[in-house]
Structure 1
Amino acid sequence: MNEETISAHDDEQIFSEDGEKQQETKHIINSITYDYLPQDYILTDLDLSAHCVIQYSNEDDILVMIDDIYIKQRYLVCLLDGNKWLDDEVISAYICCLKEQAQLLNQNKAKVYFENPFVTRLLKQDGESGIGGPTGLTTVVKNYLDHDMIHLPINIKNSHWYLASVNFDKSEIQVHDSLCWKHSRADLILTLKGLQYHLNILKGQEVLSDRHKWKDIDFTKWKITEQLQNPIQKDSSSCGLFLLKFMEYWTGHTLSHPITQEIITSFRFKLAAVLLCWKNNRAPPTTSVEESEESDGDPSDVIMSEIPFDQKKSKELSSLSPENKYQSLMSILSNLSLHELVGGLCNYIKSINSAEALEKVWVQNSDPYPISLTLQKIQEMLNEELAMDRDCFNLVVRKIMFDDIQMVKKRRGVITKHYLDIKFWMITDFGRHPDYRKKLDVEQLAYSVRSWPGIKYSVSSCKSIHIPIQSGRDFILFILDKDTRTVYILDPTPIDPIYQRNPHAKYMHRLLWIAENLPKAMSRACPGSIWNENIFLWQQKVVHGISGYKRELSGFFVTLFMSTWEEGKVNLPFLKDGYELRKQIMGNLLTMKDNECQDNMHTGVLDFISFIRKIQDNRI
């Protein structure tokens, strides 16, 4: 991209985490197609809407038609999952975009030819079996003669992608392999051998006679040079994305832009939107196989076809105004279920990796005391290897209580459950050696158990109090029921074999500690109530059937126990896995209405939250 083009597009870049750039954001939103390949990968509202179109279309819907490449939804959706690797379909479509951009910007002075994987696979087959004479592929190879460098995408037995560039200026085969695999490059050797067969046929036809660079060449004897000495790919799924960036940036001498795993991870999500919204994509978002063209049968998943796309439909799509196209994409959100909206919101949040954006506070609430969550903390809620952050936990508890208060107001009922957060447990300084334990601030402890703001009620009138505790990564919930004078113990962590004979032993020290400190707080918060009794003398019940989960999930399960506990039992919803639970709780947290930093969120996130709130409000 030349300097003038870069400057022009820099004016359109998204700065959704910067309040001073709202005008630029609005400009991008109204520009609903990509007519260039962006180099910044911040997701826009358009991108987010495109993700929804991809994620919730039918598997056999053809979503992308660029040149002769058709892509069904089931092959495009890999871009929304960081653990999936790219097949030929997506790679071929982006190569079409590379060709178009090179022609548009008149950058192809070096005459670079971008080949697609379909053709390189055929070349490899010819290298394995040989050919007896010219074929249709010989005509394709003839096109190479007008170029100085040929980019060949190579696939190793359906397990890894890398780039081989045939550089005529240097008479060498230049390899870019993001993993730097050490092997014989057998796939490349066979591809070059197949290419050589076709060149020999062209040479026999004297096609090469007036091209000095192409005289008497034998690729099979050219030196193969590895351009990378150390792996730059940090995962096992993004080799196809690295391949595309190598094709885009390799000049024959150097890479014109840096390529890192972090850049590639962001590029994955951006690429999904770029392909769907590419200016020459002739497929409406809901085009199905049956609707795509008039032919004797369904097109293959990737079609190298001579049958033109229905021009009438293409013109109808092109005639839509940018506003109508954008509204068409955004209307997808209004038709999604709560589960689908939360899934789309999580995909959006996971795709953000700007250091500046991650440090911004996205959620903040100051009542009854200040809690702030940066985007990074929110993003970490989706990391399956991390336990729940304490601030996140406390804010989720606050959200649960506020939701209960709103429901009671709407139904004109009374508050029956009172929730404490981890602050009560932390103030008591359990777990610290007595010699180093801070002097207990009874007033602060009492403040941590007083009524929540927003509605006046007495803790003494509540039927139960939920007291969560934290020890390392483990969260455990104690529920005190005053009517039956019972302490219910809900522990989602794995069962320790040492407590097999006496399960209650694990909780004795914690119960004693609560029994000692709760009356101190209640004597100030609600003197004379039943909560001033020694709860260690109450009946104790360990709730069974809820343990055995990973310790990293215990905080998420405890908040779920708190919100679903009714009449002495927990009513858990059906959950496919722990990640689903993380998604649900994070989505619930982000919809907190008393969020003081909501303006720091990306516009697309706010759109998701708006639709999620509408569904939640209808359920109350």
Structure 2
Amino acid sequence: MTDLDYCALITIETSLESDILVKIDDIFVTQSQLSCLLDPKKFLNDDVISAYICCIKYQTHLQSRNDVKFYLENPFISVILKRDGKFGVGQDGNHMTKIVRNYLKHEMILIPINIKETHWYLAIINTQKCEIQVLDSLCWDSNRGDLADTLQGLQFHLDIIGRQQNLISHNWKDLQVISWIITEQLQEPIQKDGSSCGLFMLKFMEYWTGDSLSHPITQEDINCFRYKLAGILLCWKRNTAQTTPKNISLLGNSDDQKEPKATDSLLEETKYQSLMSILSKISENELIGGLCDYIKSINCLETLEEVWVRNSKPYSISLTVRKLQEILKEDLPMDCDCLNLVIRKFMFDEIQMMKKTKGTISKHYLDTRFWMITDYGRHPNFRKKLDVDQLAETVCSWPGVNYSVSRCKLILIPIVQFNKTFILFILNQDTRTVYILDPTPLDPVYKYNPNARYVKKLLCIAEFLPKAMSKVCPGSRWSEDVFLWCQIILSDVPIENR
């Protein structure tokens, strides 16, 4: 995502629920409606869908594709068509008939269909083929009752137009759309979750040519599109909404500010800028610095226990504000969950780089779960019974790419010490070498034999790693006794004295 994408997400998060953040033509979208873009488990709101459809309409190359004129309908009109199909033409019939009359100027009519509070899919009125084309990311071809009602409503208005004397010239081969065949354009589901159907539908509207999709669409693309959509809408050139959060002051201390009056609107415009405008002018380092200072300043007990960071792959990690503070405060040790999340980021960065360069994964990161399961420091007679399957899970390959741990050249193992400091052991399979990186000061006891301080830890790794690897990659070199490998303590490691 770009910096503006991140700024857009921050704008949504920090605005009031009633703030209008998007106004494109006659479509208004508030913060509460845009919040669906922040949560991958939420369905897309009708207003968000309508706003993006407006954006598509303003792109000339999407209005006419392969010399075929496209008309993109919005969800509000499709709901009325469905209502008319179920209950007959309502009091607003003349208005709806005018809208349908405009369809006759186009060869392809794209209508969003909603199975109430369940699913979105796209119906295309293809007048060249006299067929109704359906693009459904989940391929729910057995549930087309909403489409049937919508087509019946459309047919009612086409019948009215057909009886009028001033029928406009058109290229439709047949106005009896209710008799056209319905064809499912997707044979296999491409949606992998239960909430992104609306996003898929928008991409269908954008990429459909009449015969096929101009671009392939994957779940990964859609996951990214959810977050980029916020930036697209808020930064759209025709978005005329004025966002003026009251907590962003450009004129001195906010404590001195009085409650604004309705007559002070002009003053407010000069006194406040939108959060988007401010953030877009701040460097990345300034943003990070300001956020860190804010986190460190929090002292509310209730807020300190709130979860601000959550990640679920390959297992759930939640970080409270208190844990985030422990990262930033130099006099406090880092929490293991924080370290594990950073390790997770390192590994996923490696995976993304590998995908871009089409290379291979050479380094395999373990997090602190492996070390904690070993129950190091406890006498063997008092250790918990080892669950080998659970131990094996801590050394498995990371999700997101298919690779074999046995082929990795390096395994990085973080060690948690009793004083909550960390040591890193790096195992090199090619050279059969164990590298040790220890930022803690050397105890004078080990001055003449520094390797002695790591003997017990290395023996623990040599005992438990082969047990895990025998499950994950049996027969690999990682099942060897690493205690017999060459041991090198790396110098020039920055020393941290807590």
Name the TM-score, length of structure 2 as normaliser. Answer: 0.58
Counterpart residue identity of residue 353, structure 2: A
Deviation at 1:284, TM superposition (A): 4.2
Instruction: Give the structure 2 partner of residue 458 of structure 1.
Output: 444
Alpha-carbon distance between aligned partners in 2 of 1:277 and 1:60, rounded to the nearest angstrom: 19
Tell me, what secondary structure is at the counterpart of 1:173? strand
Instruction: Give the structure 2 partner of residue 243 of structure 1.
Output: 201
* 144-153 or 101-110, which deviates more: 101-110
Instruction: Give the structure 1 partner of residue 96 of structure 2.
Output: 137
Alpha-carbon distance between aligned partners in 1 of 2:467 and 2:36, rounded to the nearest angstrom: 35
Instruction: Give the structure 2 partner of residue 149 of structure 1.
Output: 108
Counterpart residue identity of residue 51, structure 1: L
Instruction: Give the structure 2 partner of residue 100 of structure 1.
Output: 58
C-alpha change, 1:82 and 1:325, in structure 2 (3 Å) is: closer
Instruction: Give the structure 2 partner of residue 83 of structure 1.
Output: 41
* 98-107 or 225-234, which deviates more: 98-107
Q: Residues 162 and 243 of structure 1 are in contact (CA less than 8 Å); yes or no, is this contact kept in structure 2?
A: yes
**Is the aligned partner of 1:125 residue 2:83?**
yes
Alpha-carbon distance between aligned partners in 1 of 2:221 and 2:350, rounded to the nearest angstrom: 10
Deviation at 1:250, TM superposition (A): 0.9
Instruction: Give the structure 1 partner of residue 353 of structure 2.
Output: 357
Deviation at 1:152, TM superposition (A): 0.2
What pairs up with 1:14-413 in 2 under 5 angstroms?
43-102=1-60, 109-131=67-89, 134-208=93-167, 210-211=169-170, 213=172, 217-286=175-244, 326-327=280-281, 335-336=290-291, 337-338=294-295, 357-358=353-354, 388=394, 397=414
Deviation at 1:286, TM superposition (A): 4.5
Counterpart residue identity of residue 138, structure 2: L
Deviation at 1:205, TM superposition (A): 2.8
C-alpha change, 1:243 and 1:212, in structure 2 (3 Å) is: closer
Deviation at 1:144, TM superposition (A): 1.6
Q: Residues 64 and 281 of structure 1 are in contact (CA less than 8 Å); yes or no, is this contact kept in structure 2?
A: yes
C-alpha change, 1:202 and 1:312, in structure 2 (3 Å) is: farther
Q: Residues 418 and 459 of structure 1 are in contact (CA less than 8 Å); yes or no, is this contact kept in structure 2?
A: no
Alpha-carbon distance between aligned partners in 2 of 1:353 and 1:456, rounded to the nearest angstrom: 33
Alpha-carbon distance between aligned partners in 2 of 1:273 and 1:186, rounded to the nearest angstrom: 35
Alpha-carbon distance between aligned partners in 1 of 2:466 and 2:270, rounded to the nearest angstrom: 57
Q: Residues 121 and 136 of structure 2 are in contact (CA less than 8 Å); yes or no, is this contact kept in structure 1?
A: yes
Alpha-carbon distance between aligned partners in 1 of 2:397 and 2:171, rounded to the nearest angstrom: 70
Name the TM-score, length of structure 1 as normaliser. Answer: 0.48
Tell me, what secondary structure is at the counterpart of 1:111? strand
Post-superposition CA distance 1:449-507 (Å, at most 9, x none):
xx93474433669xx999686958999xxxxxxxxxxxxxxxxxxxxxxxxxxxxxxxx
Post-superposition CA distance 1:431-450 (Å, at most 9, x none):
xxxxxxxxxx9xx88x85xx
Tell me, what secondary structure is at the counterpart of 2:134? strand
Post-superposition CA distance 1:547-566 (Å, at most 9, x none):
xxxxxxxxxxxxxxxxxxxx
Alpha-carbon distance between aligned partners in 2 of 1:248 and 1:360, rounded to the nearest angstrom: 26
Deviation at 1:189, TM superposition (A): 0.7
C-alpha change, 1:343 and 1:85, in structure 2 (3 Å) is: same
Alpha-carbon distance between aligned partners in 1 of 2:160 and 2:137, rounded to the nearest angstrom: 34
Equivalent pairs, count: 366
Counterpart residue identity of residue 280, structure 2: Y
Alpha-carbon distance between aligned partners in 2 of 1:99 and 1:457, rounded to the nearest angstrom: 70
Deviation at 1:256, TM superposition (A): 1.4
Instruction: Give the structure 1 partner of residue 249 of structure 2.
Output: none
Contiguous gaps of at least 5 residues in structure 1: 1-42, 289-310, 362-370, 379-385, 405-415, 428-440, 476-516, 526-593, 596-616
CA RMSD of aligned residues (A): 5.2
Alpha-carbon distance between aligned partners in 2 of 1:249 and 1:354, rounded to the nearest angstrom: 32
Contiguous gaps of at least 5 residues in structure 2: 247-264, 296-305, 312-337, 368-391, 399-410, 448-452, 469-481
Tell me, what secondary structure is at the counterpart of 1:245? helix
Counterpart residue identity of residue 202, structure 1: I
Deviation at 1:287, TM superposition (A): 5.5
Instruction: Give the structure 1 partner of residue 375 of structure 2.
Output: none
Tell me, what secondary structure is at the counterpart of 2:147? helix
Percent of residue pairs identical: 41
Alpha-carbon distance between aligned partners in 2 of 1:230 and 1:265, rounded to the nearest angstrom: 19
Q: Residues 282 and 314 of structure 1 are in contact (CA less than 8 Å); yes or no, is this contact kept in structure 2?
A: no
Q: Residues 64 and 275 of structure 1 are in contact (CA less than 8 Å); yes or no, is this contact kept in structure 2?
A: yes
Post-superposition CA distance 1:358-384 (Å, at most 9, x none):
5589xxxxxxxxx9678xx99xxxxxx
C-alpha change, 1:233 and 1:201, in structure 2 (3 Å) is: same
